Amino acid sequence: MTEGSKSPLTVVHGHTMTVEPQFADTRVGIDTGAYMTGRLTAVRIFDNVCEVL
């Protein structure tokens, strides 16, 4: 896939710690650093709606 192309899928990932979950067109970053902060982030995706739990 090339830069700027659209994927038909949404990728949910960790790896890069951020203070809050990060949302983009085709990705959701949920790594809030549970090992350091004690904050574990989870999301529920249903009917194209992403809800942070």
Is the full-model pTM beyond 0.85? no
Q: What is the pLDDT along the chain (53 residues), one digit of tens a residue?
A: 456 667 788 899 999 899 999 998 889 999 999 999 999 999 998 988 889 98
Q: What pLDDT shows up at residue 1?
A: 45
Q: What pLDDT shows up at residue 52?
A: 93
Strand ranges (E), the chain = 11-13, 22-23, 27-29, 43-46, 49-52
Distance of CA 36 to the CA centre of its chain: 18
- Asked whether 1 and 7 are in contact (CB, 8 A), the reply is yes
CA distance 46 to 19: 24
Closest CA to 53 of 37, 32, 35, 36: 32
